[in-house]
Structure formats: structure tokens, C-alpha cells
Structure 1
Amino acid sequence: MKSFRLNRLFNPVSKKCFDVAVDHGFFNEYQFLEGIENIRSAIEMVVQASPDAIQLTAGQAKYLQQIPGKQKPALVLRTDVANVYGASLTTGSFSKMIEQAALQAVRLDAACMCINLFSIPGAPEVTGQCIDNIIRLKLESEHYQVPLMIEPLVFRPNSDKGGYMVDGDIKKIISLVRQAVELGADIIKADPCTNVEAYHQVIEVAGDIPVLVRGGGKTADEEIIKRTAMLMQQGASGIVYGRNIIQHKHPAHITRLLMDIVHGEATLEDTLAKIQ
């Protein structure tokens, strides 16, 4: 039955997935709310661009799932919350999982669940909590047959412009991606690396588990389009972008341009010409 839900995530022709993350309000960071202050409006705007999936929390999934019709994006349910994104780590850093996450996913008609696997300088205890969460959720995932998307994230030190900054070291990314696969991931949502031309190594270490690449911080249009094209050429199974969509002046437009790249419906040159 997991394959049935996975079929809802991936385009039937390209076999790729473009997922828009709109779960940033979960993490108690004011700067994460830019573009999603009105969550209902933000979700409706993204839905108009028809991405393959939208990543939301249990508290906000209703705004997607109450939209009528069969063609709306699949729901990716965020299952864990953390307090590790500020300019400095607190003495009580944590990653906590919602209760009975897989049951909530079933009730919300989610196509899969997303959970973090952090590697944060100065916070090894949070990595341990993430592993505990994944071990628990893996059993629920199998019981309810809801696919498990593990998000291995290698942070730079929080003092470098706050948390959630991509480290970019491919060796660290490879190691954490492999650990996520070993823990039972059905899908990987991974960091990009500094040298995008080396990303095939991340794809290789994940084996037959599809790898979706996250965006990280806000990036200029031309750069994010070029990087997306290169990642797809390296063998990525899709993309998960959040702030590069929801904080854009024209979210629906940039979503369509990036989807054309992901699904192979437009060349890089044609897409760059349509930025304006």
C-alpha cells in the first residue's frame, strides 16, 4: 500500500516530484513567517500552480484538504517540531514528534510523512532525539503503510546567519543520507552540496531510494533555476522548495518555471528567458 501513496507524489510521466514546503510556522521563528502570514491564502496561491505535493503540519493541512476536486497536490505531513533555527542554540534544544503521527497522516489523507534527521554543530543530543523519533515512526509507517520521508540536514553553526543554513560538505551529506536510508527511509529529502556537479554521489549512496533536494535559504531566481536543472541532471528524483516559493514576488510563476525544469518540459535556456 505504500506504493499507492507514493504514486500520488510522483508525476506519472516524468516520475519526478516537485514539493512546496509551507510548514515553516511550526518552528516558532518570526522570520519564517514571511509570505505565509495568511496561511490559507498562501496555500491557495501555491495550489494554483499545481505542484505535485505541499508539505504542511497537522494544524494547517485542512486548508489544502478542504479544497474540492481530485487534482489538488498531495499532502506531505510534517511530523516533528524543533527549536534549533535561531541565531544561537538554547540549552534546551529539542526535536519532538507529534503523537501517533502515522494515524494522523491517515486521517488527513496524507501521501507521506516527513521527519528530520539533524546534524547540528554543538547539539549532538538533538541528533539522538531525531534518531529516536525515526525509529518510533518507522514502526507506525509500516503498520499504517504511510511512506516515510526522512530529511537529513547538515547545519552550519547557528552563529552563521542563524540556523537552517546548508553546510554543503558532500561527505557530511553523504554520510547522513546513508544513515537515513539505513533507518528505513522510503524517500530522502536532502541538502544540496556546494559543488552541484558532485551530487550524483548522494544519489548513488541512497541506492533505490528516491532523493528530493531541498532549497535551503532564499536564492536569486536565475541561481535557483540553474541549480535545479543541474540537480535533475545529477539524478535527483525531485525538489522540495519552501522560501524560494512562498517568499517570491510571484510564487505561482516561479513554481511553474521550476516544475517545467523538474519534469523535463522546458530547457534551461527557455526557462531562464521566462524569469521576468
Structure 2
Amino acid sequence: MEIGKRIRLERIINRDSGNTVIVPLDHGVSMGPIEGIIDLRKTINAVAEGGANAVVVHKGVVAFGHRGYGKDVGLILHLSASTMLSPDPNEKVLVASVEEAIKHGADAVSVHINVGSKTEAEQLMKLGKISRDCREWGMPLLAMMYPRGEGINQFDEKAVALAVRVGVELGADIIKTNFTGSVESFRKVVEGSPVPVVVAGGERMDSAEDILRMVEMAMDAGARGVAIGRNVFQAENPTLMTKAISLIVHENGTWKEALEVLRG
């Protein structure tokens, strides 16, 4: 691996555990100014204090979330976009470049790819281009790889494994994907990837216990961390939720121990 990538990856992966807790905060493009991301600086402060290794944001709000003080947190610049008003929300377009990410001081970039969507071909071409640019500039690439499209079960083990492997084959350094529901099925997904796999948080869950159970199962299956957005930044206490998740990811804690952290 190029030295530039190695140095940047060290900023978003915990050196002791080799794992990472990423909090995506890029939802403003797709969903608007929803609860939890209206004041980005406040939210980033909260998750940083909770032990998050990195956050994901779009280029236009980097300045509004940059702190310059307190506990450091890695910056991942998201390059993909679509809105909930689009006729096809599964279509993702590029709205930033690797060069822009470098100018913004990013430690990595991320792209969102929907395997099986109507625009799969175009999205894969974009992934290939960004992967090439990342290699050129020594920039780590987080690929958010999801099986999504008509008639596709986005939590199916084989579909998720395929999406993950596509990301690997096209040059991603870290893969974010859906949890398949069990340790056994997700282990098969992870076994098919020679690069770290992190589990997505998905839709907002009603129960903190459900979130923490999922994180523990994913880690037991061999995941190298999480990339959880709404279930962290819309939690009653984002700092404590981040701490609870970090206990599982970095210290091999159980969901029950993490629940105690969450309760303060």
C-alpha cells in the first residue's frame, strides 16, 4: 500500500484495535436538515468526545463542522449524492473529486454504489474512476456497497457478498455494507473480502439494545467496525451512544456492557 494511504488510514483506524467507528453525517443532501445534523459542529463535538474515529460529510459543510480543538476525529469526504425527491433515489452521481478532498484536508473519500440498480453500469464506471484517482493521490477509499434494485433483497447474504466483492475488485480500501442479520451469514460476507468491512447502521432503530446487539454480532462475524449515522446522531445522547459502540468495536465489549455505558 502506498505510504500516503497508510498515513491517512492511520487517522481513521484505531491503532490498538485495528478497527474503526465512523459516523456518517452526509444525510443533508438526501434528506435535508434533519434532527441531529442541523448543527454539525455540535454533533461532531459529541461523537468525537464519544470516541468516533471519523465522520463523513459533504464538501460544502466541512468548514461548518471543523473544530480545530478538542479530541481529533478523521474527515471522510463523501463524493456521491442523490435526493429523496429523485425519480430514482438509487441513482448516485459524483458531486466532488479526490482532488477537492485533498484541498479540504480529508483523510479519505467515500462513494455510494447501488449494485443491481438501473444505473449500476454508470455507478461502477464512477467507482473505477475514483479508485484510480485515489491510487494516484494516495487517498483511502471507503466504498458504500449496497445491493439495491427492483426485486433485490438488500440484506440477502449472497447479494451483500456480491456487492462487497465488487467494491474489493474495483479497488476500495474499506467497504461499508448492510448487516445480513446473523453472525453466520455475515461471516461469509466478511470472508469474501480481503479488505476491512464495516457494517452500516441503516434505518433509525427504536431500541438502543437492537443497535448494540447488531454491532456485537457484526464484530463477532469479523467486521472491522461500523459506519452508523442516524442511530448515533439522532440518539438521545450521541456521545454516550458513540462510547457504547466504541466499547464493542475497540474493546471487545458485549452489548450488555455497552448498554450500561449508554445508561451512564
Distance in 1 (alpha carbons) for counterparts of 2:223 and 2:170: 20
Give the whole-Å Cα distance in 1 for the aligned partners of 2:251 and 2:168: 27
Within 1, Cα distance between the matches of 2:88 and 2:199?
Answer: 30
* 1:198-230: CA deviation from partner (whole Å, max 9, x where unpaired): 2111111112x0111111011210011111111
**Of 225, 228, 240, which aligns to 2:212?**
225
- Answer yes or no: is the 8 Å Cα contact 1:5–1:111 preserved in 2: yes
Structure 1 residues 228 and 74: alpha-carbon distance in aligned structure 2, compared to 1, 3 A threshold: same
1:91 and 1:243 map into 2 onto residues whose CA distance is: 22
Hey, what does 2:128 align to over in structure 1?
Answer: 135
Query: In the alignment, does 2:260 pair up with 1:263?
Result: no
**Residue 130 of structure 1: SS of its match in structure 2?**
helix
Amino acid at match of 1:102: V
RMSD: 2.3
Q: CA deviation at 1:260?
A: 0.6
Amino acid at match of 1:79: L
2:220 aligned partner, one-letter code: Q
Cα offsets for 1:115-149 (capped at 9, x unmatched): 011035xx412x22211211221221111110111
From 105, 108, 125, give the equivalent of 1:109. Answer: 105
Alignment counterpart, residue 225 of structure 2, candidates 233, 238, 253: 238
Contact kept, 8 Å, 1:43 with 1:63, in 2: the verdict is no
Query: Contact between 2:91 and 2:118, CA under 8 Å: does it hold in 1?
Result: no
Q: Distance in 2 between matches of 1:73 and 1:182?
A: 29
**1 CA distance for matches of 2:153 and 2:216?**
19
Give the equivalent residue in structure 2 for 1:175.
162
The one-letter code sitting in structure 2 at the alignment partner of 1:213 is V
Residue 162 (structure 1) aligns with: none
Note the residue ranges of structure 2 that are not aligned, 5 or more in a row.
none
Is contact 2:153-2:159 (8 Å) kept? no
Normalised by the length of structure 2, the TM-score is 0.90
1:144 aligns with 2:137: yes
What is residue 81 of structure 1 aligned with on the other side?
81
Q: Is the alpha carbon distance of 1:44 and 1:166 closer, same or farther for their aligned partners in structure 2, counting shifts above 3 Å?
A: farther
Asked if structure 1 preserves the Cα contact closer than 8 Å seen for 2:114 and 2:149, the reply is no
The C-alpha deviation readout for 1:146-171, integer Å capped at 9, x for no partner, is 0111111123769xxxxxx9821011
Give the Cα–Cα distance (whole angstroms) in 2 for the partners of residues 92 and 42 of structure 1.
26
Distance in structure 1 (CA, Å) of the matches to 2:212 and 2:89: 38
Cα displacement (A) at 1:173: 0.3
Percentage of pairs with the same residue: 25
Deviation at 1:274, TM superposition (A): 3.5
* Paired position in structure 1 for 2:49: 48
Q: 1:91 to 1:52 in 2, by over 3 A?
A: closer
C-alpha distance in 2, partners of 1:270/1:40? 29
CA distance in 2, matches of 1:166, 1:257: 30
Structure 1 residue 111 displacement after superposition? 1.3
Q: Report the AA paired with residue 80 of structure 1.
A: S
- What are the ranges of 5 or more consecutive residues in structure 1 without an aligned counterpart? 159-164
Other-structure match for 1:189: 176
Name the aligned partner's letter for residue 146 of structure 2.
L
CA separation in 1, counterparts of 2:143 and 2:183? Answer: 21
TM-score by length of 1: 0.86
